[in-house]
Amino acid sequence: MSLAISFDEEQRIFTLSTKHATYQMQVEEHGILLHLYYGKTIANTPLSYLLEKTSVSFSGQPYDVGDDQNISLDILPQEYPTFGSGDFRESCFSVIGTKGETGADLRYVSHEILNTKPKLSSMPALYGENVPTLVITMRDTFLSLDVLLYYSVFEENDTIARSVVIKNTGADTLHVNRALSACLDFVDGSFDLVYFPGSWGTERKVERLSVNHAKIRLDSFRGTSSHQMNPFAILCEKNTTEEQGMAYGVSLIYSGNFLIEAQADQIDGTRLVMGIHPEGFCYELSGGEELITPEVVLSFSDKGFSKLSHNYHNLYKEHLVRSAWRDKRRPILINSWEAAYFDFNGEKLLKIAKEASELGIEMLVMDDGWFGTRDDDTSGLGDWVVNEKKLGMSLHELSSKVNDLGMKFGIWIEPEMINEDSDLFRAHKDFCLRAGDRPYVRARNQLVLDMSRADVRDYLYQSLSLVLKSAHIEYVKWDMNRSLCDVWSNDLPPNRQGEVYHRYVLGVYNLLDRLTTTFPDILFEGCSGGGGRFDPGMLYYFQQIWCSDNTDALARIKIQYGTSFCYPPNTMGAHVSICPNHQTGRTTPMAMRAIVAMTGTFGYELDPSLLTDEEKEEIKKQIAMVKQYHPLLSNGDYYRLTNPFANERYAAWEFASPQKDKALLCFVLLRAEANPSVIYLKCRGLDENAVYQINGEGAFGGDALMNAGVRVPILRNDYQSFIFSIEKIEDIQA
């Protein structure tokens, strides 16, 4: 039995313990599952004394408590609150019975403590050996309904994964219209909520609001996790900064519609709920059927945002990202999109590959335009057949010639979409999502395939498998370039149309699982118009995700800063692109572009024939530097030294090895000033009892570098940049 999960039978208290945190809940005398505490480690103390059971006007009581008006679900902190139970705060669960009645009354029945974490059927989830898991069975006896609450404890990462299984144990059909995955209830609290909104090209900004009595609602019902809001948020103390204060992270392993809501209640407690968005959701459960909700990953830090980010980075690198590429250096690639767009053939691609190979670039990626009849974005999507006439050769010939140059070969695909001008649409109009007989809603000249249908997935699997088997393809970029709106399936009856949004996501996961299993050695990169589906669900299948279509280095500093609060840097697709930049028109030095791209997976988005000899030599040096520093960039702890949304003068960030023997300090001057003050950068993650060199020179105590800082040379032009390589040379003797 793991020490991470314990149960006090006398007081009926569950305690979940991670390395630095305690999570405690209690089954009270009527079977109501109450939340007691989540925060810094508290040892050997039952925390039920924190509960204030009191009578509050207009807050009713469950019938079975009799005349005790001090027990009200409207004010008590709960683990899985339900609609219609007398709790008027945001709920996690609501169900419609056979007579049209809504609500549920869930009471504790039993529990089980497992030594291993069960797999989450049909959905991505955290994995790992010897992960203790608590399963609590709650029951609504009137509806013949069981709700199983899962808590998996990742002790070293200070995280707890929560999910829910809803089972119809009776014969009557039920309809679940709200099925969130987790609730956090605090008996007190004066919290802020940090969240990550955006749009295409400006993904994952950082905003912070005080949690008051008005609801804060963060959500997406675009069918994807979206550019506009990310399924991750941080509940924190008012004084929490990068290095101090308590912070609670909530991250949803799901790629579809989601909801996060936070609010202070009438007695100044705080509730946050998270899960599948109830908008457009209604799931039918016949007798014996079950519904599984996606995992919410909770993490706690009492040392600010930085430690919270490290929890998520390490957890997702070790227990979410999979495949043979998880721990490998990713090939340095050049993508054809900004080099050629749709205007290419095989010979043009080979010319790009030849010049790129001479610079040390390791892979050519052929982007959009190689299949069907596809010379612009109005036709061809859905027809996954190689256009040999356009290429002037077969895909096998092209990949072989690229391989002969010493390079790997990859392709772009967009499986979930279809053009009306395609053979697939002409043969199978019913394959598309469409609101009954209404006209389609177009976006980017394309419609959406109904991924909830097995026959659609079978067609895509078969056609894409033929392509992937026809050539030596080692990388696939999977794109998705619109949101879902007219969501209706020809394959489901009217009473089940409320399941389509969720079934769509499950269908995408099903196809991804089949393809990644069949082609385990391919490096898959996710994309949705850039970072429109940058979420943990995608990271389960894709080892990296294109962080944004905006490749401007200045913009990317902000985008990658916001992304780093939850997601590991080595999952962020980032490239050096041509200037003037194609999204902003801005010109920045190539050295700056490289330093920013090094924070992610690193590659190039340009035509090497347009480079000067000086730029080509610089690229060779950049590639050598990325290879040299790869272990630190991929496995080091990442520190945000400045906030680019607040500091307009300069940006700085750092990678430090877990062993504290090496670090990379990255600096970019955003705005030069006349008569500037000197900039000092205080390092993090070093050993204060060791001596270090900077760029191979000097001798500096770790305590000096962290407390007094590194002096940055005076710079005169915008966008000048530095990398300070810091290496330990000796320990200070006591």
| pLDDT surpassing 90 at residue 59 | no
Query: What's the Cα-to-Cα distance from 225 to each of 102, 259, 457, 527, 646, rounded to whole Å?
Result: 28, 10, 21, 12, 26
172-198: pLDDT as tens digits: 999 999 999 999 999 988 999 999 999
DSSP output for 568-612:
-GGGEE--EE-SS-TTT-----HHHHHHHHHTTT-EEES-GGGS-
For residue 248, the domain's CATH number is: 2.70.98.60
Residue 337 and residue 308 in one domain? no
**pLDDT of 167 over the 80 cut:** yes
H helices of 163-238, where? Answer: none
End position of a domain, from candidates 288, 319, 350: 319
pLDDT at 323: 87
Residues 302 and 177 in one domain: yes
Q: What is the pLDDT of residue 137?
A: 98
**CA separation, residue 323 to residues 216, 516, 613 (Å):** 37, 8, 38
- Give the DSSP H or E segment for 263: strand 258-264
Q: Are residues 135 and 51 in the same domain?
A: yes
Q: Which residues pair with 349 in a beta bridge?
A: none
Three-class secondary structure of residue 631 per DSSP? helix
Instruction: Give the number of domains in the chain.
Output: 3
Whether 589 and 719 have beta carbons less than 8 Å apart is answered as yes
Question: Which residues constitute the domain of residue 29?
Answer: 5-319
- Model confidence pTM above 0.75: yes
- Could you tell me if 571 and 605 lie in one domain? yes
Active-site residues, by number, are 535, 615
Q: How far, CA to CA in Å, does 47 sit from each of 3, 236, 299?
A: 18, 21, 20
Q: Token pair 């308590």 is at which residue?
A: 246
Residue 77: CB atoms within 10 Å: 23
The residue behind tokens 């149309």 is 497
Q: What is the CATH number of the domain that holds 356?
A: 3.20.20.70
Torsion of CA 486, 488, 490, 495, to 10 degrees: -160
Whether the ω angle into residue 580 lies within 30 degrees of 0, i.e. cis, is yes
pLDDT number for residue 2: 62
Residue 1: pLDDT over 70: no
Q: What is the pLDDT of residues 259-278, one digit of tens each?
A: 999 999 999 999 999 999 99
In this prediction, residues 665-693 reach a mean pLDDT of 96
Helix, strand, coil: what percent of the chain each, to 5?
A: 20, 30, 45
Closest CA to 25 of 132, 149, 158: 149
Residues 158 and 276 in one domain: yes
Res. 734 pLDDT band, cuts 50 70 90: low
Q: Please report the DSSP string for 103-144 in residue order.
A: ----EEEEEEEESSPPP-TTS-----TT--EEEEEEEETTTT
Check if the beta carbon of residue 529 is closer than 8 Å to that of residue 480.
yes
Task: Give pLDDT tens digits for 601-625.
Answer: 999 999 999 999 999 999 999 999 9
Whether residue 553 has pLDDT greater than 90: yes
Mean pLDDT for 720-724 is: 96
H/E element, 365? strand 363-366
Do 71 and 144 share a structural domain? Answer: yes
Residue type, 498: G
pLDDT at 328 over 70: yes
With respect to residue 110, please indicate whether it lies within any of the assigned structural domains: yes
